[in-house]
Structure 1
Amino acid sequence: MNAHDPVAVRSIEQAQPAEDGLVREFVVRNPDYYAKVFARIRRASGAVWPFNLGAALLGPVWAAARGITLLFWLTFFLEMLAVVQIGVGAAGNLGAVEQARAERVTKQAQARAEQAKAAEAAGADNAAGLKSSAAALDKAASNARLQVEAAKAKAPLVIVSGLITLLLARLIAGFLGNRTLERRFARWRSKPTLQRGLNNPLAICAFAFCIAAYGLSAYRFAALTPAVWLTAAPSNPEWQAALSSGLDSLMAAVSHLGDGFFGGITGAISLVLDGLAYGLTGMPWPVTMAIILALAWQLAGPRVAIFTAAALAYLAVLGFWEKSLETVALLGTSAILCLAIGIPLGIWCGRRPRVYAALRPVLDFMQTMPAFVYLIPVIALFGIGKPPGVIATLIFGTPPVVRLTALGLQGVPPAIREAAQAYGATRWFLLTRVDLPLAMPSIMAGINQTILMCLSMVVIASLIGAKGLGEDVLNALQYAAVGQGLLAGFAILLCAMIIDRVVQGRAK
């Protein structure tokens, strides 16, 4: 837009009063100042940084009052660092550790000197050695005292550094205040439910929080011996022991009551695993390799078949053939179970938002809990061996495919579904011919992530008796056999890549 164009100038002048009215409604306090500043920011061809004196003086309190969260935390942490630096420098305890060491070594030197005098008076043979040791300790005490003086000499520098950090925090608040508030104003125009004006109760709470945090932090780092309640969190070992005992009893009771149920699950998984492993390892290896290559060629094309041939040659030549087939049986069984449970559950979540909201905490728990923690209840309920490894992998690998399947279905454009329904599409037709094809890229990403999750559990499952390539990696870790561990790790990677390339190639 040309600034010298009369039509453009007239349109700007006509729009300016309405814009100023919105600014006044948003800021409430100091509207004339913010109207000018916001107009300057919007009209500037480049980045401008008008300084806000109120934000610079009040820092995080101003940011809290205006509802600018990012600026609040940025200035808060910088000011906390500055207060701690100033407190440490002003307290004069910079050399506290060195001072304690100097006092301890000085006492040791004095005691050794007295021992040397007594030994010399008695004519003992070790008098010379004790005297030399006392001299060495005295020299170490002198060095420690020099370190104390050097540390205390840094106190003014630490105070100055804290003041500079405090000034930097206030300058950042001053220069970022207007720009961040202008961006919040732009968001408020499209979403009027956002906070406008000054939130005085929040500002008071932010002020109290900052004072308490600054004071406690400065006291914690500046005091020579801070209070125990501030350095150690309150704990009750008796509660922990009682809860641990209760959980032990609960797991024992569940294991005893559900012995038949858990045994049935273990037997079913063992049957599938043993059958698949026997089928893979029992056939002549050329036949097995030919079948895998034919499937790779048919489902994913010649490039994937060539890659599969190279990977299988690596496994065969380096002696990983049988163990890799056992790993494929474990990985394949786990992945199939994850997909058989995860995809229908993801479809249900994608079409029922309330179900997804209820299951999301469960999925978060399954995905964020460390993998080793899964092994504890799994061993207690299912024992050790391959089936417990599959169950632990099932818990860890199911959430990605559920989440991404639900996400893909939620991303299907409503207009397409409405058009299909207008032409009389049934619910089954709508799901199989509209929703799933359009959500397939997201679903395939979930399948890929599930396969990778199952791969990551192969080594962990070997800790509870699941054999295969994970056992070689575990042995390499125990005996620090770096080369053997890397070779076995590459073998696991190639097994997963073959499965993933074939599955992804079929989808394409």
Structure 2
Amino acid sequence: MSEVIVTAADEIEVDHNALDGSVARFSGRNGRYYAAVFRRIHESSAPFPLTFNSAAAVLGPLWAAMRGAWGAFWGFLILETLALVQIGRGLWGDLGSDLATRAESQLARAASFLEQATAAKQAGQDPTRFEKMAENLGRAGERSLEAAVAASADATTILLFGIMLFLGLRIVQGGSANIIYEKQYSRWRIDPQHTESGIRPRNLILGVLLFAAISPLTIYKFAVANPPKLLSEFPAQRSHFSAVATWIEARIDAAAMAGAGTFDSIVTGVRSVLNALTVTLIGTPWPVVMLVICVVAWRSAGPRIAIFTAVCIAYIAFFGYWELAMETVALVGAAVFICVLLGIPLGIWFGKSERAYRAAEPILDLMQTLPAFVYLIPIVAFFGTGNPPGILATIIFGMPPVIRLTALGVRGVPESIKEAAMAFGASRWRLLRDVEVPLALPSIMTGVNQTILMCLSMVVIISLIGGGGLGKVILEALQYAAKGPGIMGGIAILFVAMVMDRIVQGAFRRDQRK
């Protein structure tokens, strides 16, 4: 007895009239054509159904612009511009002009050396040196002439390649246009407000303007032998740069003089935190510090991390990096302490206030994206050199992660849980302390972890402005190209980072298990 297998697709009944009407509303013109094509695409089991859109093949990127398919417009515009550049090079490009000019110069110099050889003979001197140089330059000139002739002969090949590439791209556009447009139709059915549909003259005009602004200039730049300098260099004026740079420098100097007392107070506060950590880590006998670190690793993260910590410390101590490593830990510890002390409250505030977060977001973006070498300049101008300014630069670089992730964690607390806590009489402070912060703790600790690692990445940069620690080892290795000491110092920095990271992560995971 034969069995009849009915698939889920067979059981689905499609209202083709409603679907055709939807496609017609989406496409505007040629609604029947696109309804038939989309139906064929839907019914086809092939990954790329074979359809051809003659309008897309003729108009190229302009069809995509007219239909609002901007991704296809930009992709095919760039590819067609490359093809048109090859056509322009084949038609108007003097491909062998540079080589011909070089050959002419070489042959002229060869003739000059021959004249010097003749003069040397007449003067009774040995002309061998001049004759040899003339012979070498003559051979080089002949090779350059041959290369120029070969390059000129390649113009036809480049022209044919450009034409074939252009026609191939148009065929590809015609074959892929319906598939691209069907995907746009699918997005339109989900979100009609934010997906373009139909033919819009505004889009066509914009596409024409973009095409006219991009392709002709690009073709002219690469096809003409000596294009205008304006196409290669922006007409900037050095006087504007000097005036703005001088103004900025004067403002920074004035601000440094006006706020000298404030800046000195900040440096004093940072130095006090750093001195406390330095005395604790370096002033205390090294066996005590080693033992305490291993015990903290054991109690926080378990015996495996304790053994790993002991191995890392042994490497650091055995190769004479102990004091430098402890100075590095003090620098990073001071920076992390200030980052966490300021970052977590700010993150909580930004997590609860959307307006405050929007106001601070550009500043956080600036702190993370601006290269460290850029803001080292005002740091040195305002705070001088040494470890405290280095810590301030590290704070600028390392604070954004803990702020962002704390805000993210606070925002991620479900509203239902907060409403339940408020229903049971929890005050806003109690809600924050007993509900929001504990639930946001995974995100907060991830931010702390990222801050630690980012602060450690600044160790070498701190050494550029007079900071100490293991960064000095790397800086000296770079200055004297000392490969061995540089690699050994880098491994020491790696071990310090890994120990701090494993201890913090282990402590957090153990608290989570409890």
Give the TM-score normalised by the residue count of structure 2: 0.93
Match of 2:100 in 1: 99
Over the matched positions of the two proteins, sequence identity in percent amounts to 46
Match of 1:171 in 2: 171
Match of 1:37 in 2: 37
In the aligned structure 1, how far is the partner of 2:329 from the partner of 2:9?
70
Match of 2:132 in 1: 132
The amino acid of 1:483's aligned partner reads: G
Is 1:405 the counterpart of 2:409? The answer is no
Q: 1:7, CA displacement in angstroms?
A: 11
User: Is the deviation greater in 291-300 or in 437-446?
Assistant: 437-446
In the aligned structure 2, how far is the partner of 1:308 from the partner of 1:178?
61
Contact 1:75 1:172 in 2 (8 A): no
Contact 2:93 2:225 in 1 (8 A): no
User: Is the deviation greater in 461-470 or in 167-176?
Assistant: 167-176
The amino acid of 2:251's aligned partner reads: L
The change in CA–CA distance for 1:440 and 1:97 in structure 2 (over 3 A counts) is farther
Match of 2:441 in 1: 440
The change in CA–CA distance for 1:177 and 1:448 in structure 2 (over 3 A counts) is farther
Contact 1:405 1:443 in 2 (8 A): yes
Could you report, residue by residue, the CA deviation over 1:274-299 in whole angstroms, capped at 9, with x for unpaired residues?
22111101111111011111111112
Q: 1:4, CA displacement in angstroms?
A: 8.7
In the aligned structure 2, how far is the partner of 1:109 from the partner of 1:478?
45
Could you report, residue by residue, the CA deviation over 1:287-330 in whole angstroms, capped at 9, with x for unpaired residues?
10111111111122222111111111111111111100000000
Match of 1:71 in 2: 72
The amino acid of 1:87's aligned partner reads: G
| RMSD of equivalent CA atoms | 2.1
The amino acid of 1:395's aligned partner reads: I
Match of 1:370 in 2: 371
Is 1:202 the counterpart of 2:206? The answer is no
Q: What is the 5 A alignment of 1:48-127?
A: 48-49=48-49, 50-123=51-124, 125-127=125-127
The amino acid of 1:149's aligned partner reads: V
Is 1:472 the counterpart of 2:467? The answer is no
Q: 1:154, CA displacement in angstroms?
A: 1.4
Is 1:162 the counterpart of 2:187? The answer is no
The change in CA–CA distance for 1:7 and 1:352 in structure 2 (over 3 A counts) is closer
User: Is the deviation greater in 430-439 or in 83-92?
Assistant: 430-439
Q: 1:88, CA displacement in angstroms?
A: 1.3
Q: What is the 5 A alignment of 1:330-369?
A: 330-369=331-370
Contact 1:3 1:9 in 2 (8 A): no
Match of 1:28 in 2: 28
The amino acid of 1:230's aligned partner reads: L
Q: 1:28, CA displacement in angstroms?
A: 1.0
Contact 1:92 1:152 in 2 (8 A): no
Could you report, residue by residue, the CA deviation over 1:113-160 in whole angstroms, capped at 9, with x for unpaired residues?
22222222232x242221222122111111110111111121122122
Q: 1:11, CA displacement in angstroms?
A: 5.4
The amino acid of 2:427's aligned partner reads: T
Unaligned runs of 5+ residues in structure 2 are 510-514
The amino acid of 1:256's aligned partner reads: M
Q: 1:390, CA displacement in angstroms?
A: 0.5
The amino acid of 2:239's aligned partner reads: E
SS at match of 1:37: helix
Match of 2:394 in 1: 393
The amino acid of 1:104's aligned partner reads: S
Match of 1:460 in 2: 461
Contact 2:95 2:225 in 1 (8 A): no
The change in CA–CA distance for 1:137 and 1:252 in structure 2 (over 3 A counts) is same
Match of 1:288 in 2: 289
The change in CA–CA distance for 1:148 and 1:8 in structure 2 (over 3 A counts) is closer
Q: 1:8, CA displacement in angstroms?
A: 7.3
User: Is the deviation greater in 470-479 or in 172-181?
Assistant: 172-181
Is 1:486 the counterpart of 2:487? The answer is yes
Size of the alignment, in residue pairs? 505
Give the TM-score normalised by the residue count of structure 1: 0.94
User: Is the deviation greater in 187-196 or in 281-290?
Assistant: 187-196
Is 1:315 the counterpart of 2:316? The answer is yes
Could you report, residue by residue, the CA deviation over 1:150-184 in whole angstroms, capped at 9, with x for unpaired residues?
11121122122222332343233223322222222
Q: 1:379, CA displacement in angstroms?
A: 0.4
Q: What is the 5 A alignment of 1:178-197?
A: 178-194=178-194, 195-197=196-198
Is 1:147 the counterpart of 2:169? The answer is no
In the aligned structure 1, how far is the partner of 2:67 from the partner of 2:159?
31
In the aligned structure 2, how far is the partner of 1:402 from the partner of 1:333?
17
User: Is the deviation greater in 74-83 or in 61-70?
Assistant: 61-70
Contact 1:85 1:159 in 2 (8 A): yes
In the aligned structure 2, how far is the partner of 1:401 from the partner of 1:20?
53
The change in CA–CA distance for 1:409 and 1:158 in structure 2 (over 3 A counts) is farther
Contact 1:266 1:382 in 2 (8 A): yes
